[in-house]
Structure 1
Amino acid sequence: MKDTKILTIQDISCFGQCSITVALPMISAFGIETAILPSAILSTHTSGFTDFTVRDLTEDLPSIRRHWEKEGIDFDAIYTGFIASAEQLGYIKDIIDSRLRSDGLVFVDPAMADNGEFYSVFDQEFADRMGELCKLGDFILPNTTEACFLLHKPWKPHFSKEEMLEMAHELADFTKRYVILKGYESKNHEMGMIILDKIESTVEIVYNDKVDYMSHGTGDVFASAFVGSVMVGKSPSQAAKIAGEFTKKAIERTMGDETHTYGVKFEQVIPELYDLLKL
């Protein structure tokens, strides 16, 4: 029996629950072998810390790909997150072309912006390049800020249901099949995710209760739980519901701890994954 293997490509923040330090334990908890390709190594993530160190690993990507080709190493899925430079995007396309199995899936989390602003190292030119990577994805998972930058639209804190649906349809040009658009807040103060299937021409909204708490890394927790759920056979809407519930529980475990401001305590929720997979 062949085991499922996933490659995740994103940064390692040595401290601060995000990126690979979320993706590796999260996807492994689904029973899936998870390989990593760091885009950069940071002493901490960039939110709330100062004087952090960064080592860009762009130059290492081609040699890693060549070694994997020599060894015959390939993957059932490739999941990308924080990419350190526009140059890396081209190398990642080569890795997808070379190391993804013929029936494999690509998940692209265009992790570059939030709350109406780019992360400090990115700009619109990078967003346009990221859009080209998204087009290789079977699934793309933008928040509303990232969606607006991909589409060259102005961002605002709240979008109506109609505006979110319009944005999801426009994002269909940036994916091979599925758009998972995060960040819709309903009139009932629920958080909604738009799931658009461009092949079947269907759109669905999946809701979770809103938790009034902001934290770094929740997008990585959601994306990793979503990828794991899809890879164990859940539909995109089921996976979005599971990932949303998992993220909500991780936030709830963190609330009230004033010393824990750099991420969410997702590790404490991993034992509950089995029950969530029944959703």
Structure 2
Amino acid sequence: MKYIAPKTVLCIHDLSGAGRCSMAAAAPVLAAMGHQPILLPTALFSTHTGGLGQPAAQMCGGYGPAALQHYRELGLQIDCIYSGYLAGTGDQELVRRAFEFWPEALKIVDPVLGDGGRFYTGMEDKLPGVRELCRGADMILPNLTEACLLLGLPQPQQELDQAGAGALAEELAGLCGQTVVTGLPQGRHLACAGGGKERFVVQRLRIDRSYPGTGDLFASVLVGALLRGNAVSAAADAAAGFVAEAIENTDPAANPALGVWFEPLLGRLAGRGV
């Protein structure tokens, strides 16, 4: 059997001990897909902040820059830099420094700012810095709310058709050359749309259940598929399909704040061609 070296992914995210989101989703997904995640937490939380009470929190402060310097001194090859929730301007600078240390890496930014038409608490003043990170990235993965915030547009008052979804993704391409916008409502479906080098819209039947962390799950599968050499549209299709499977696999009676039961499905990612 021919040996294929895993791609190394520097994951700059927060880590929640309970609740399937951020780094707790990225690490197992990327590992199952044959890659090596290098975990660089920006903050530690006992739980995520979506419905599990007030979490215990610890900002990682000077750990991140010291860790980056150590990895650089080791001469580690970083194939991809994948960032998510950044709690402060120091975390944004951490991502910028990683971009400078490994300029040849694929740079993917999930610009975590808000959802449901509004900012997450405390993220309003982070918008300019996140926008600048997006300009330095190769690809960004905003949801619909974040796409409008990045562009300075009002939140849409009606559902987007395929043309509208494509136009929004294409407008974002002026900020970053390749974009994938998620969470686009289209009647009985949810869609993601790509703009820039590859234009597409991927639809999935809407499941009438909502869970935190599904955006992180989508982004992580998409990153893993891209690093396997898939086109952006194929990677987005695989990611949307896996999220839908994970929702279907989750007991409707379970506490939704704990996220979707994706762990039993990880073997499917390992065995897929995406």
TM-score bucket of the superposed structures, by smaller chain:
over 0.9
TM-score (norm 2): 0.92
Deviations 1:45-85 (A, max 9, x none): 00002221111113222222222222212300011111111
Structure 1 pair 50–186 and aligned structure 2 pair: CA distance change class (3 A)? closer
Q: Distance in 2 between matches of 1:145 and 1:27?
A: 26
* Aligned 1:208-223 pairs, distance under 5 A: 208-223=204-219
Structure 1 pair 4–121 and aligned structure 2 pair: CA distance change class (3 A)? same
Deviations 1:215-245 (A, max 9, x none): 1000000000000011111110000000000
Superposition deviation, residue 6 in structure 1: 0.8
1:194 counterpart letter in structure 2: A
Where does residue 132 of structure 2 map in the other structure?
A: 132
1:10 pairs with one of 2, 10, 13: 13
Where does residue 270 of structure 1 map in the other structure?
A: 266
Where does residue 193 of structure 2 map in the other structure?
A: 194
Q: Distance in 1 between matches of 2:225 and 2:213?
A: 18
Where does residue 70 of structure 2 map in the other structure?
A: 67
Q: Distance in 2 between matches of 1:225 and 1:58?
A: 28
Where does residue 37 of structure 2 map in the other structure?
A: 34
Q: Tell me if structure 1 keeps the 8 A contact 2:49–2:55.
A: yes
Structure 1 pair 90–274 and aligned structure 2 pair: CA distance change class (3 A)? closer
RMSD: 1.8
Where does residue 117 of structure 2 map in the other structure?
A: 116
Unaligned runs of 5+ in 2: none
Q: Tell me if structure 1 keeps the 8 A contact 2:170–2:196.
A: no
Q: Tell me if structure 1 keeps the 8 A contact 2:166–2:200.
A: no
Fraction of identical pairs, as percent: 30
Relative contact order (C-alpha < 8 Å, sep 6+): which is higher? 2
Q: Distance in 1 between matches of 2:267 and 2:69?
A: 38
1:63 counterpart letter in structure 2: A
1:64 counterpart letter in structure 2: A
- In the alignment of these two chains, the number of paired residues is 270
Unaligned runs of 5+ in 1: none
Q: Determine helix, strand or coil for the equivalent of 1:58.
A: coil
1:41 counterpart letter in structure 2: L
- 1:183 to 2:186 alignment: no
Superposition deviation, residue 204 in structure 1: 1.3
Structure 1 pair 32–151 and aligned structure 2 pair: CA distance change class (3 A)? same
Deviations 1:1-46 (A, max 9, x none): 6442111100000111001110000000011111110010001000
Q: Determine helix, strand or coil for the equivalent of 2:257.
A: coil
2:200 pairs with one of 204, 211, 229: 204
1:79 counterpart letter in structure 2: Y
Q: Determine helix, strand or coil for the equivalent of 1:75.
A: coil
2:93 counterpart letter in structure 1: G
Deviations 1:90-120 (A, max 9, x none): 22101111035x2x21111111211011111
* Aligned 1:20-169 pairs, distance under 5 A: 20-100=23-103, 102=104, 104-123=105-124, 125-156=125-156, 158-161=158-161, 162-169=163-170
Superposition deviation, residue 276 in structure 1: 5.0
- 1:242 to 2:238 alignment: yes
2:257 pairs with one of 253, 261, 264: 261
Q: Tell me if structure 1 keeps the 8 A contact 2:50–2:257.
A: no
Superposition deviation, residue 166 in structure 1: 2.6
TM-score (norm 1): 0.91
Q: Determine helix, strand or coil for the equivalent of 1:37.
A: strand
Where does residue 174 of structure 1 map in the other structure?
A: 175
